[in-house]
């Protein structure tokens, strides 16, 4: 015991003091424990610690990171708009919205997180009600979304082909403060897009006007019910829901939807198999049609739906995700019979773009907080901002975020051009290719960058009520829903083959034109890197065309990553070549281009896609169990 006491440090003194207090309150403390845990006055140096005996926790409190106006804090966003959409009204709207986010909305977002939705299955009198109760903050988010035009801007098109960019910039500012309200907005936007593409008419004309409304009283959100127990990614084979034709031309849907996000929506688009007069359906994707259904009746009660339960999720806890039994849900078929997947693909395009916007928004937000914190936190005698290694880490995150931002804005620019009839055939191809590429790549970047961001707050980044851990949890879903990384990599192959390679031709032509316009000598190293990567990619694709189909499938993910990195490099170079660009823009481009821009070539060179590889991979994964 004496030996132990001699080694008492300041820290263990505090622990001993705490333990002593705790134990001395307990009547069952044994004599041995009392001897081991000595009272504070017996500890050497106790008097010098007196200032701690009253407060107990000392006098130093670390300043928290402050959220400042995310628009004014974002020089890349401002530069991008100055270059492409130099409009005072847009600038002013985003600046004012940025203030509103700091002043009130960010707090609501936190409220959504700590007051998650709950399901009320029965009323007090035993009647089944299936009511999803959300927080008041979640309700306010809905009103705000209408007022701020977060969906409407994309359909009003006041800024022509740049309206989508404007809308997505606003969503990018909103997303990290939104308490995940961006999820229902993504699906709402996607539903509006589908309805518009089909031609707005009965029975969805009213729905369209509500989805795109700025009036909170009129505004509706939409669900996108695609996932069933058998079919997560494999929608074509896994959808069991059937649609029974009614004499009035409508349908009744019966089935089980396994993940329905933001289930408090007013309407939904969903897939089902139409039954013939014998009750038979067509299997596979060709048997699927797309339906519109209002979720609630005029009394606000779900109709033809039982909410089985709400999901208990890693993140996105602010938002209700439910399992739904469809038990004769009244619905209207919107697509031709058997064209359900092709029809809902418009929705997938929009929700995947929203997903990419949320990914880059999360990266930007964690960086804004981390760089603010670095001016408030001292360690080893100086502020974090004065530690070069810390700045190197944040700078690497910044480079990732810039690359992601420019890629996502490029996709938004392209969809804006397509929707306003300005897109060339080449741009339409590019949009098809870059949508899955941006979604899959930024989803992964977001997890990595936000994880790194949490580390920059030390242990505080791991503490729940700082709000930081929720950012990481919410980022994790970005690479899962709306198509996992591998499913989207295969979607890249799908669009290459369906377009007979035209999407790739568009990609090469446009990337080269971006490089050709870069004239700054300081960027020549980066230009050469992208150019080399592009040539390598072209040669790889030519060689891959002669291989068995399994080869390119095995290369799909690395191919998608290569397409993303090369294109981001070209965009960073292009942005840095603009006359209003800063030194940081050029530096970011140079740094980006230092990495392996074309991993599909380096991995092919070491035989990763040889036909010998799959059995070796499988043996590696299952080695232990095959030994058994």
Question: Interface residues with ligand MFK (CB under 6 A)?
Answer: 182-183, 186-187, 224, 226-227, 233, 235-236, 261, 285, 341-342, 345, 348-349, 351, 354-355, 358, 481-483, 487, 491, 494, 498
Cβ proximity of 239 and 282 under 8 Å: no
CB of 357 to ligand MFK, least distance (A): 7
User: How many helices (H) and strands (E) in the chain?
Assistant: 25, 12
CB of 383 to ligand MFK, least distance (A): 34
CB of 64 to ligand MFK, least distance (A): 26
- Residues 170, 85: Cα–Cα separation, whole Å: 13
CB of 240 to ligand MFK, least distance (A): 15
CB closer to ligand MFK, 495 vs 530: 495
CB closer to ligand MFK, 150 vs 573: 150
CB closer to ligand MFK, 364 vs 377: 364
CB of 345 to ligand MFK, least distance (A): 3
CB closer to ligand MFK, 72 vs 490: 490
CB of 520 to ligand MFK, least distance (A): 36
Query: By C-alpha distance, which of 316, 605, 328, 339 is closest to 472?
Result: 316
CB closer to ligand MFK, 224 vs 318: 224
CB closer to ligand MFK, 149 vs 287: 287
Looking at the DSSP bridge assignments, the partners of residue 243 are 253, 274
Residue with the CB atom nearest ligand MFK in the bound state = 285
CB closer to ligand MFK, 348 vs 506: 348
- Residues 469, 110: Cα–Cα separation, whole Å: 12
Q: Quote the strand ranges of 381-464, DSSP E.
A: 382-383
Count of Cβ atoms closer than 10 Å to residue 545 Cβ: 10
Q: How far apart are the first and last CA of the chain?
A: 51
CB closer to ligand MFK, 436 vs 536: 436
Which residues lie closer than 8 Å to 203 by C-beta, 6 or more apart?
292, 332
CB closer to ligand MFK, 65 vs 362: 362
CB of 201 to ligand MFK, least distance (A): 22
CB of 533 to ligand MFK, least distance (A): 25
DSSP for 332-394? EE-SPTT-HHHHHHHHHHHHHHHHHHHHHHHHHHHHHHHHHHTTT-EETTEEGGG-HHHHHHH
Tokens of residue 85, six digits: 């959409």
CB closer to ligand MFK, 358 vs 511: 358
CB of 40 to ligand MFK, least distance (A): 53
Q: How does DSSP classify residue 264? A: T
- Residues 145, 140: Cα–Cα separation, whole Å: 8
What's the burial of 411, exposed, middle or buried (CB within 10 Å: 0-12/13-18/19+)? buried
Cβ proximity of 231 and 237 under 8 Å: yes
DSSP for 272-332? EEEP-TTS----SGGGEEEEEEESB-TTS-BSSEEEEEE---SS-TTS-EEEEEEEEEEEE
CB of 324 to ligand MFK, least distance (A): 13
């Amino acid at each position: 015991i004496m030996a132990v006491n001699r080694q008492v440090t300041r820290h263990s003194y505090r622990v001993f003091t705490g333990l002593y207090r705790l134990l001395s309150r307990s009547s069952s403390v044994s004599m041995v424990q009392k001897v081991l845990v000595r009272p504070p006055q017996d500890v050497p140096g106790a008097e010098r610690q007196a200032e701690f005996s009253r407060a107990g926790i000392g006098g130093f409190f670390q300043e928290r990171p402050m959220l400042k106006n995310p628009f004014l804090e974002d020089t890349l966003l401002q530069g991008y708009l100055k270059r492409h959409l130099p409009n005072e009204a847009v600038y002013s709207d985003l600046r004012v919205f940025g203030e509103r986010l700091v002043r009130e909305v960010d707090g609501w977002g936190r409220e959504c997180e700590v007051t998650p939705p709950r399901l009320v299955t029965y009323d007090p009198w035993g009647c089944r009600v299936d009511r999803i109760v959300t927080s008041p903050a979640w309700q306010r988010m809905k009103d705000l979304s209408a007022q701020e035009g977060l969906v409407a801007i994309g359909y009003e098109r006041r800024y022509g082909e740049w309206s989508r960019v404007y809308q997505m910039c606003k969503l990018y500012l909103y997303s990290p403060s939104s308490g995940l309200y961006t999820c229902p907005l993504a699906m709402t936007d996607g539903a509006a897009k589908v309805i518009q593409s089909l031609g707005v008419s009965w029975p969805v004309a009213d729905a369209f006007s509500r989805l795109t409304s700025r009036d909170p009283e009129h505004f509706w959100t939409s669900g996108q019910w695609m996932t069933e127990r058998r079919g997560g990614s494999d929608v074509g084979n896994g959808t069991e829901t059937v649609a029974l034709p009614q004499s009035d031309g409508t349908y009744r849907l019966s089935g089980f939807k396994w993940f329905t996000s933001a289930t408090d929506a007013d309407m939904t688009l969903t897939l089902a198999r139409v039954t013939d007069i014998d009750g038979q359906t067509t299997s596979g994707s060709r048997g699927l049609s797309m339906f519109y259904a209002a979720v609630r009746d005029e009394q606000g009660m779900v109709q033809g739906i039982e909410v089985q339960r709400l999901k208990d999720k890693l993140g996105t806890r602010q938002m209700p995700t439910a399992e739904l039994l469809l038990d004769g849900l009244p619905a209207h078929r919107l697509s031709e019979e058997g064209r359900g997947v092709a029809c809902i693909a418009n929705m997938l395009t929009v929700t995947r773009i929203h997903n990419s916007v949320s990914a880059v928004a999360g990266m930007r937000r964690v960086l804004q907080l981390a760089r603010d914190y670095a001016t408030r936190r001292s360690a080893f005698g100086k502020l974090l901002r004065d530690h070069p290694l810390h700045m190197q880490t944040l700078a690497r995150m910044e480079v990732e975020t810039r690359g992601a931002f420019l890629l996502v804005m490029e996709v938004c620019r392209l969809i804006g051009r397509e929707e306003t009839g300005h897109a060339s055939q080449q741009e339409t191809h590019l949009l098809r290719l870059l949508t899955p590429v941006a979604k899959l790549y930024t989803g992964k970047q977001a997890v990595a960058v936000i994880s790194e961001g949490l580390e920059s707050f030390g242990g505080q980044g791991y503490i729940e009520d700082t709000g930081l851990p929720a950012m990481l949890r919410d980022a994790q879903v970005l690479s899962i829903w709306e198509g996992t990384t591998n499913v989207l990599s295969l979607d890249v192959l799908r669009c290459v083959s369906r377009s007979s390679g035209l999407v790739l031709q568009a990609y090469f032509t446009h990337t080269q034109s971006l490089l050709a316009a870069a004239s700054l000598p300081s960027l020549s190293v980066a230009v050469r890197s992208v150019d080399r990567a592009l040539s390598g990619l072209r040669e790889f694709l030519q060689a891959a065309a002669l291989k068995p189909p399994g080869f390119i499938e095995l290369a799909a993910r690395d191919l998608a990553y290569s397409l993303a990195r090369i294109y981001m490099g070209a965009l960073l170079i292009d942005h840095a070549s603009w006359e209003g660009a800063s030194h940081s823009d050029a530096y970011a481009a140079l740094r980006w281009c230092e990495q392996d821009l074309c991993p599909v070539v380096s991995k092919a060179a070491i035989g990763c896609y040889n036909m010998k590889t799959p059995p070796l991979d499988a043996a590696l994964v299952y080695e232990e169990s095959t030994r058994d």
